Amino acid sequence: MRHSRREVLKGSLAVAGLSMLGLPEWAMPALAQGEVVVPFTEWPENFNTNPAADRRLLDVRTITGPITPADQFFTTQHYGHPVVDPATFRLRVSGMVDRELSLSLDDLRALGTTDLVAGFECSGNRRPLQGLSGNARWTGVPLRAVLDRAGLEADAHEVVFFGADRGPESVEFRTQKFDVEQQYGRSLTRGQAMTTDALLAFAMNGEPLTRHQGSPLRLLVPGWYGAPNVKWLAEIHAQDVAYLGKFQTRWYRTLRGETINGEMKWTEKPITRQQLKSFIARITAVGGQHRVLGVVLNDGTPIRSVEVKVDDGPWQPATLDPSTREKYSWKLFTYDWRGATPGEHTLVSRVTDANGLVQPTLEDLANKKTFLEDNSQHPRTVVIS
């Protein structure tokens, strides 16, 4: 199922094969001797990767390889980082199921584990930092295996995931307001739960999940934005109706003008699959040469091309890193910027997927009113001396 170890091995052999064919090998994005980062002029002066005790951003200028180390992986959440003891941990599965379950980590492992590389960003990730993004290898149990074990009843149309973290919320109803305590909750429809490659992950990059990343267990929906990846997963609850919790229906939604039946309609949709996006992570200089490194994120649809444009020049093809070709991995790309002249320059990337979908410009997104899901082309400015 999905990316077994054997497939992963096959993938890396294919990469090795590239160099045997005499094609240029991917040059590791780590800085070469004497290579220096050219500052982005739009970068905030007092950039802090830890703006709050429970929040961390990735400094995308420091990306050194396809996999983001655990101590650099971004972390963001609504109610702080709860501590859950892996030894006494039990995942509860309840509601409209044939068998209610209470599973230890060992019980979960016994259902069969798999691993895959998945990159994701928070739906609020945007310019100039783009630091609410990362890429890791996740190991866990396919969600389907757990749902099959419990047996979803015929009318169980919605599967709700609750984290162990909780906090006070004010729920509005017409003219009233109710102060209640809530857990972080997200849901998938039965169809989404059974057809996505969703994983109940207990390890990241081969190590048990850290507290920041949701120890001991989190939901991972590959190809989707971060919000559905419920950390400190405590309960799975099957029900017959849609889940209307705050973080499902109110906090993470996009107001967009769309043409439906020839008429503009303002739609409010939950964030789900990642919109096709690329951004330049850094520009470096070594011995008069310039190199651009960037990142592509999407829902797992194969990528056709990434291009880079310098000032008003033509779009030029960038090179995708073959070690990031796994379906849900973020993709890294490089572009050799030749003949950079002194002065200010603007560089921008755009990605096109196998269906011909092209990353939009900011102007193309004029009818997107709320700030989430900003996948617009992101111009970076640098000054070459």
Ligand X SMILES: Nc1nc2c(c(=O)[nH]1)N[C@H]1C(S)=C(S)[C@@H](COP(=O)(O)O)O[C@H]1N2
Residues of this chain that bind Mo ion (CB under 5 A): 122, 226-227
At 124, list the tokens: 């609020």
The binder of 74, among ligand X, Mo ion, none, by C-beta within 5 to 8 A per type, is ligand X
Query: Is the separation of the CB atoms in 109 and 91 below 8 Å?
Result: no
Give 159 or 308: the residue with its C-beta nearer to ligand X: 159
Give 227 or 296: the residue with its C-beta nearer to ligand X: 227
Give 95 or 223: the residue with its C-beta nearer to Mo ion: 223
The binder of 229, among ligand X, Mo ion, none, by C-beta within 5 to 8 A per type, is ligand X
**What is the CB-side half-sphere exposure of residue 19 using CA atoms within 13 A?**
10
Query: Is the separation of the CB atoms in 384 and 343 below 8 Å?
Result: yes
| Min dist. Cβ of residue 118 to ligand X (A) | 11
| Min dist. Cβ of residue 12 to ligand X (A) | 26
The binder of 150, among Mo ion, ligand X, none, by C-beta within 5 to 8 A per type, is none
| Min dist. Cβ of residue 234 to ligand X (A) | 8
Give 183 or 334: the residue with its C-beta nearer to ligand X: 183
| Min dist. Cβ of residue 50 to ligand X (A) | 13
The answer for residues whose C-beta is within 8 angstroms of residue 332's C-beta and 6 or more apart is: 29, 63, 66, 293, 294, 295, 296, 320, 321, 324
333: nearest Cα among 345, 346, 316: 316
The binder of 66, among ligand X, Mo ion, none, by C-beta within 5 to 8 A per type, is none
Side chain identity at 356, as an amino acid letter? G
Give 96 or 132: the residue with its C-beta nearer to ligand X: 132
Residues 28 and 31: their CA atoms lie apart, in Å, by 8
CA angle 247, 130, 45 (to 5 degrees): 120
Cis ω before 322 (30° cut-off from 0): no
| Min dist. Cβ of residue 326 to ligand X (A) | 19
| Min dist. Cβ of residue 123 to Mo ion (A) | 5
List of residues contacting ligand X (CB under 6 A): 73-78, 122, 163, 165, 184, 213, 226-227, 229-232
Residues 190 and 156: their CA atoms lie apart, in Å, by 7
Give 122 or 159: the residue with its C-beta nearer to ligand X: 122
